[in-house]
């Protein structure tokens, strides 16, 4: 049986664009998660999510693992981008979309090269 930290590490490594949030992209359970998801969805790429309200073990461990105390948390290619304020600020300044598009494109290229 894997530990919570191992699960977190696996989720982050297997998903090039991942958001840990309260609720789901379709039904966010807090305003910060809603704002972050809106900014992410505006980039037009698929992303994975983990509802920390359904995963109390992850909700407890991730802030320690990430050294980031709050949710949501956006992870891109294994790196913590940040929470709501940072993601919305990056979206407003035009920095978020190229970051997300590049990560999605690299993920597609990796999938294609593994499929050959």
Interaxial angle between packed helices 31-41 and 84-93, expressed in degrees from 0 to 180 and rounded to the nearest 10 = 30
Give binding residues for [2Fe-2S] cluster as ranges. 30
Give binding residues as ranges. 22, 30, 59, 71, 84-85
Would you say 38 and 48 are in contact if contact means Cβ atoms under 8 Å apart?
no
Give the Cα separation of 103 and 105 in Å (integer). Answer: 5
Could you list the beta-strand ranges (E) of 1-116. Answer: 17-21, 48-51, 73-76, 79-82
Give the Cα separation of 78 and 23 in Å (integer). Answer: 22
Give binding residues for glutathione as ranges. 22, 59, 71, 84-85
């Amino acid at each position: 049986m894997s530990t919570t930290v191992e699960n977190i590490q696996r989720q982050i490594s297997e998903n090039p664009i991942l958001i840990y949030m309260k609720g789901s992209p379709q039904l966010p359970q807090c305003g910060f998660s809603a704002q972050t998801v809106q900014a992410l969805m505006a980039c037009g790429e698929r992303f994975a999510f983990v509802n920390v309200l359904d995963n109390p073990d992850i909700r407890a461990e991730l802030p320690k693992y990430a050294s980031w105390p709050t949710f949501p948390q956006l992870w891109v290619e294994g790196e913590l981008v940040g929470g709501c304020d940072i993601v919305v600020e990056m979206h407003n300044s035009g920095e978020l979309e190229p970051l997300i598009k590049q990560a999605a494109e690299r993920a597609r290229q990796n999938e294609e090269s593994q499929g050959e």
